[in-house]
Structure 1
Amino acid sequence: MLPFKLDMDRIELDAWGAPEDIGATTLEGPMQVSGKLLFGTLETAVSGGLYAATKGKYRVVYAFHEHATLLDGQVALTDETTGQTVIYGPGDSWIIAKGTPVIWDVRSPSIRKSYIAAMADL
């Protein structure tokens, strides 16, 4: 079991670079992203861990299905397919389908989420 609680100590994450280093396009920045894979690998059907980003905006087309819960900060996610924007704060969760184009608007100095990613087509 991997617990993620809003009041737990935050472990150090690995620097992953700019949004471009994870297949995204920076729209407002500069931004930095970081994370730690805690379950599975990038090659397995299911993986998960922690992800963080600094303030700014980027666009990404999801390469996997994701369920995530925001642990810190505030982010607005816009589904470019529908135009719907939802603002998330600590404790809020979302599901994003593989192939969905999403604009991430990190409105706080940084955000941190826990996530699980599934590569398989549904």
Structure 2
Amino acid sequence: MLPFKLDMDRIALDPWGSPEDIGATTVDGPILVAGKLLFGSFDTPVSGGLYSATKGKYRVTYPFHEHATLLDGELAITDEQSGETVVYGPGDSWIIAKGTAVLWNIRSPMIRKSYLATTVDL
């Protein structure tokens, strides 16, 4: 079991670089991203762990299906096809389908999320 609680200790994450290093495009930055895989690997069909990013905006088309819960910070995600924007705070969750183009607007100095991703087509 991997618990992710709002009051848990914040373990150090590994630097992953910029949004470009994870397949995204920076719109307003610079942004630094970090993460820690705690389940699976980048080569397995299911993986999960922790992810963080600093303040700014980036665009990404999701290469996997994701369920995530925001642990720290404030984030607005815009579905670029529908134009719908949802603002998330600690404890809020979302599901984003593989192939969805979104704009991330990180409004706080930093966000941290827990996530579970799968590349399996449904």
Equivalent residues in 2 for 1:55-74, closer than 5 Å? 55-74=55-74
SS of 1:20 mapped into structure 2? helix
1:34 matched to 2:29? The reply is no
Structure 1 stretches lacking a partner, 5+ long: none
Equivalent residues in 2 for 1:19-98, closer than 5 Å? 19-98=19-98
Q: Structure 1-normalised TM-score?
A: 0.99
1 CA distance for matches of 2:78 and 2:85? 4
Q: How many residues align?
A: 122
Among all aligned residue pairs of Structure 1 and Structure 2, give the percentage whose two residues are the same amino acid.
75
2 CA distance for matches of 1:19 and 1:12? 19
2 CA distance for matches of 1:45 and 1:35? 18
In the TM superposition, residue 89 of structure 1 has moved relative to its aligned partner by 0.1
Q: CA RMSD in A?
A: 0.4
1 CA distance for matches of 2:41 and 2:14? 15
Report what 2:7 is aligned to: 7
Report what 1:111 is aligned to: 111
2 CA distance for matches of 1:42 and 1:120? 13
In the TM superposition, residue 81 of structure 1 has moved relative to its aligned partner by 1.4
Structure 2 stretches lacking a partner, 5+ long: none
In the TM superposition, residue 87 of structure 1 has moved relative to its aligned partner by 0.1
Kindly provide the amino acid, as one letter, of the partner of residue 78 in structure 1. Answer: T
Runs ≥4 in structure 1, deviation > 6 angstroms?
A: none
